[in-house]
Every structure is written in C-alpha cells, then in structure tokens.
Chain A
Amino acid sequence: MPMRAIPLLVALLLLALLWIGLGLNPRELPSPLIGKPTPSFSLPLLQGEGQFTDSSLQGQVSVLNVWASWCSTCRSEHRHLKTLQAAGLAVYGLNYRDEPDEAQHYLRQLGNPYRMVGWDGDGRVGIEWGVYATPETFIIDRHGIVRFKHIGPINQQIVDERILPLVQQLEAES
C-alpha cells in the first residue's frame, strides 16, 4: 500500500498549494482609504453644467464607480451598476482619463446609471482615490467615510453578497 499511495500524497500536496494560492487572489486589497473620509475634490460634470465634489457624496450612502469608455471590462460590469441604480442606490461615476465625447457616447449607448458623473480627464482625482486601474467601485457612508472598495469588475455575486448588504447596514446606521 505505501508505495501505491505516494501519487495520492503528492496530489494532495499539490491541491493544498493550489487551494491556498486561490485564496491569495490579489483583487481583494485593503485600501488605505477605508475608514477614512473621502479625499476632497471638485470636478466638472461630464454632462451639463456644474461641479461634482466630495460634498456631493455626503448625506446619503453612495456608490462611486470609476470607469472609462476605453475600458472594456467596464462594459461588462455596466449592467450591474444599472441593477444598483434600479435598487434605488445613489450611484456616482468618476470618468477616469477619458475623452468627454467618447464617454458621453458610451453612456448613450449602454445607458446611464449614474446620478452624476465627474470628468477626471487627467486622472489626478483618480490618483487621490488610489485608483490602480478601471473599473473600481467604492461605497461611501452618509458622513463621507469610505467603507468599501472593490478593484475590477463587480458581478452579481459581489452585488448580492457584499454591496447590497453593506448598503443596507450603512443605511440602518444613523
């Protein structure tokens, strides 16, 4: 028996390695911003006149999504943003390093789930927010404190298991 069981033992070791490796998925990175107030910023609106500022995010639980029209991964998560909008959430957009024309075309084509979109053409505000690459999604409580960050596209699982429960919890907090 021992000789014949050797392949099995080797396989178990390999599986353990892969299992732990899978858990190391680098997408769930703690953001230094979490638990901190949002950086202060002021950006022109992508559509219409006015400014999108850090105070726009205060007073209610809000979702801030960083996106760009050149980002194909953003397209794939777009419908989940619509789900969030349909659920009554305040979804804001940060249009990162983009051309206004193309960004507007993108929203016309795919639909606009955002209450307001700030245009961050040179990416300076994005850097303040610690944006690595689009898309990224933040949840901010009504006092303007960042409570959650997700790097990469959101999917149904993240919407159901992370975002919606957290938003409910934050809304319950006074």
Chain B
Amino acid sequence: MKKSHRRLLFVLVLLGATAGAVALVTAALQDNLAFFITPSEILALEELPERNLRIGGVVEEGSVQRIGEGITVAFRVTDGAASVDVQYEGILPDLFREGQGVVAQGRLSAEGTFQANTVLAKHDETYMAPEAAEAMARAKQQVQEAQQGDY
C-alpha cells in the first residue's frame, strides 16, 4: 500500500472507531445516568420522573423496619426538611445506621415511595458521603430562603 493510502486507512479506522464509540457512549449514557435529587426536591416534583434517581440524606431515627415475611426493608431518608419513604429488597451495607448518611439509587413509584435497587453507606469512614451532605445543605438553604420570604 502506498504511504498516502496507509495514512488514509489509519484515519478511516480511527474515525470509524471514534464515531462508533461516540454513538455507543451517547446511547449508553442516555439510559444509565442517575440524577441526584434531595428528598425535598422529590416532594416538590409535579410529574413522576421516568428515570433513575439517586437520593441522599440521613436515615431517619427509628424509621427502619422489615416488611412482611420477605427481606424487604423500609426506612425514611431525610434531608432535614423533608423525608421520603424508601423500600429496598436485600441486605443493607454494614455501615448502614439510623442517623447516618446514606445514598440510595432507584426509581420513584407512583405512590411516592422510593424503590431502591442500591443502597450505599460509605464503607471505610464514619464520614458521610458528600452527596448526603449536599442534600442536607440544599434543603437547609431552601428552608431558609422560604423563611426569609415570610418575613
């Protein structure tokens, strides 16, 4: 093959691969993003979102309970201003505790319960996941702004 041909082949292969990858990545990203949302924001939602969500906050004191005969567990996640019911089928992480930060990923059901498929608690520190902290901070700010509006 001539030099110019070879360069052309190289560029074509590279372009083809890049185009393919871009198409793949866009398609895959579309379906597999989980948007971060706080319990307050969930309560303020008007429509039921059709995608994966990730909520952060603190497990409310005394809210953890097993449901029925299976292995489903229910608890409430609060950001200090609002709280959301979460249901999860499976084993909670070792560091899951009431009063501690938690991040749950899943979907919101029509009844307003959050059906989690993943529950994360930071597993090597007592420090909470930044997302949980962020949720609390956002809620606080909203409450504060609302209060200021009242004055």
**Interface on A for B, CB 8 Å cutoff?**
26-27, 29-32, 68, 70-74, 97, 122-123, 127, 130, 132-134, 151-152
By the criterion CB–CB under 8 Å, are A151 and B133 in contact? yes
Chain B, 95-151, CB within 8 A of any chain A CB:
99-101, 125-128, 130, 132-134, 136-137, 140-141, 143-144
List 5 tightest A-B contacts by C-beta distance, closest first: A133-B128, A26-B130, A29-B137, A71-B126, A32-B140
Residues of A within 8 A of B58 (CB): 132
Residues of A within 8 A of B130 (CB): 26-27
By the criterion CB–CB under 8 Å, are B140 and A133 in contact? no
Tell which of A71, A72, A73, A130 touches B136, judged by Cβ atoms closer than 8 Å. Answer: A130
Which range holds the interface residue count of chain B?
Answer: 20 to 34
Residues of B within 8 A of A70 (CB): 126
Q: How far is the CA of A130 from the CA of B132 in the complex (A)?
A: 13
Q: How far is the CA of A130 from the CA of B99 in the complex (A)?
A: 12
Q: How far is the CA of A26 from the CA of B136 in the complex (A)?
A: 12
Tell which of A32, A122, A132, A134 touches B133, judged by Cβ atoms closer than 8 Å. Answer: A132
Residues of A within 8 A of B136 (CB): 130, 132
Shortest distance from the beta carbon of A169 to any chain B beta carbon, whole Å: 25
By the criterion CB–CB under 8 Å, are B137 and A72 in contact? no
* Residue in B126, B128, B136, B144 whose Cβ sees the most chain A Cβ within 10 Å: B126
By the criterion CB–CB under 8 Å, are A32 and B125 in contact? no
| Known A97-B99, A122-B61, A127-B80; contact A133-B141, beta-carbon cutoff 8 A | no
**Interface on B for A, CB 8 Å cutoff?**
58, 61, 80, 99-101, 125-128, 130, 132-134, 136-137, 140-141, 143-144
Tell which of A32, A97, A122, A127 touches B141, judged by Cβ atoms closer than 8 Å. Answer: A32
By the criterion CB–CB under 8 Å, are A32 and B143 in contact? yes
Interface pairs (8), CB distance under 8 Å: A71-B126, A73-B125, A130-B80, A130-B136, A132-B101, A133-B128, A134-B126, A152-B127
Residues of A within 8 A of B128 (CB): 132-133
By the criterion CB–CB under 8 Å, are B140 and A26 in contact? no
Shortest distance from the beta carbon of A69 to any chain B beta carbon, whole Å: 11
| Known A32-B141, A123-B61, A133-B133; contact A72-B126, beta-carbon cutoff 8 A | yes
Residues of A within 8 A of B134 (CB): 26, 29
* Residue in A29, A72, A123, A132 whose Cβ sees the most chain B Cβ within 10 Å: A132
Residues of B within 8 A of A26 (CB): 130, 133-134, 137
Residues of B within 8 A of A127 (CB): 80
Q: How far is the CA of A70 from the CA of B100 in the complex (A)?
A: 12
Tell which of A29, A32, A73, A123 touches B127, judged by Cβ atoms closer than 8 Å. Answer: A73
By the criterion CB–CB under 8 Å, are B127 and A133 in contact? yes
CB nearest neighbor in A for B145: A32
Residues of A within 8 A of B140 (CB): 31-32, 130
By the criterion CB–CB under 8 Å, are B132 and A132 in contact? yes
Q: How far is the CA of A132 from the CA of B125 in the complex (A)?
A: 14
CB nearest neighbor in B for A96: B99
Q: How far is the CA of A78 from the CA of B144 in the complex (A)?
A: 32
